[in-house]
């Protein structure tokens, strides 16, 4: 019989505010892709430029969600960072869509 020595990973339970933070950031993660699909340009070059902004916003939101999962102390600050990064990326994306997304 083979016995594997594995470490037990202790996971903490999320509180109601932390779960709310994650749910809100999950809903906010839909803003940039929906904005891009609704008002996005049709040509490939302009679309590629605007997609960079969408991916940056998604990456910052994922980083904030990871921080919420990691630490209960920094969860409100990480959520504020995630919301602000989503708002800033949405404003940049709107400006790029109006100007034709200069490279």
Indicate yes or no: pTM above 0.75. Answer: yes
Task: Give the helix ranges, DSSP H, for the chain.
Answer: 16-28, 31-39, 44-70, 75-99
Task: Give the helix ranges, DSSP H, for 3-43.
Answer: 16-28, 31-39
At 52-80, the pLDDT tens digits run: 989 999 999 999 999 998 888 999 999 99
User: Looking at residue 59, what is its pLDDT?
Assistant: 95
The answer to whether 78 and 64 are in contact (CB under 8 A) is yes
Where does residue 89 rank: exposed (0-12), middle (13-18), buried (19+ CB within 10 A)? buried
User: Looking at residue 2, what is its pLDDT?
Assistant: 65
At 9-50, the pLDDT tens digits run: 666 677 888 888 889 888 988 988 898 888 777 777 778 888
Neighbours of 58 (CB within 10 A): 16
């Amino acid at each position: 019989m083979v016995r594997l020595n594995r470490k037990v990973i202790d996971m903490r339970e999320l509180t109601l505010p932390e779960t709310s933070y994650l749910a809100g950031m999950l809903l906010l993660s839909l803003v940039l892709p929906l904005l891009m699909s609704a008002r996005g340009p049709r040509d490939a070059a302009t679309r590629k430029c605007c997609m960079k902004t969408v991916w940056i916003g998604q990456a910052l939101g994922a980083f904030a969600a990871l921080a919420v999962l990691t630490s209960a102390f920094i969860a409100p600050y990480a959520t504020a960072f995630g919301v602000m990064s989503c708002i800033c990326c949405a404003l940049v994306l709107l400006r790029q869509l109006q100007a034709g997304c200069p490279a």
